[in-house]
Amino acid sequence: MYLTILEVGGLRETSVTQLPAPLRPTRQRKAVMSALHQRAGFTSARELHEALEAEGITIGLTTVYRTLHTLDRSGRLDVVREKNGERLYRPRPADGHRHYLVCRDCGLSAEVEAGVVERWAEYVSEVMGFTEVEHTVELTGVCDRCRFPRPTTPNSGEQHA
């Protein structure tokens, strides 16, 4: 557990972050975390499984799902959902979980400041008499690149991911 104090423009925000519980470093967990760190942005369990197989690491898809679930529950991953409901994963930064705005079309993700959400969750927990409260906030939309695609010329070969 560690304490973070942020002062901006005379406003002071204090938060306490719980460190993830220790996990036994199995071969599968090491492989999955390594593969996640090599990926840019959020990735699905299937994409992760394909990447591991391409690297010559023999691991079943069910094991990848189970490992991701364990890593998520231990606080080591940030998770968002695609519009079809599929969960996407990426390693959580050492200083705590984040909230993201994710494009429903291309998957672009942008971290958003969500201090007000954190304070609200703490307030509601306290008022309702709950402890060890977890929350999920998912913000989705359509990014400008998808909403206003640039016209491409026939020979440019340019595409938006």
- Report residue 127's pLDDT band, with 50, 70 and 90 as the boundaries: very high
Residue 46 backbone phi and psi in degrees, to 5: -65, -45
- Tell me the pLDDT of the chain averaged across its residues: 79
Q: Is 75 exposed, middle or buried (0-12, 13-18, 19+ CB in 10 A)?
A: middle
For 98-150, CATH number out of 3.30.1490.190, 3.30.9.10, 3.40.640.10, 3.40.50.920 equals 3.30.1490.190
* Structural domain spans, the chain: 1-94, 98-150
pLDDT tens digits for range 71-104: 988 888 888 887 788 888 988 877 777 788 888 8
For 1-94, CATH number out of 2.60.290.11, 1.10.10.10, 2.60.120.10, 3.40.50.2300 equals 1.10.10.10
pLDDT tens digits for range 30-53: 999 999 999 888 899 999 999 999
13 pLDDT higher than 70: no
Rounded Cα–Cα distance for residues 66 and 26 (Å) = 13
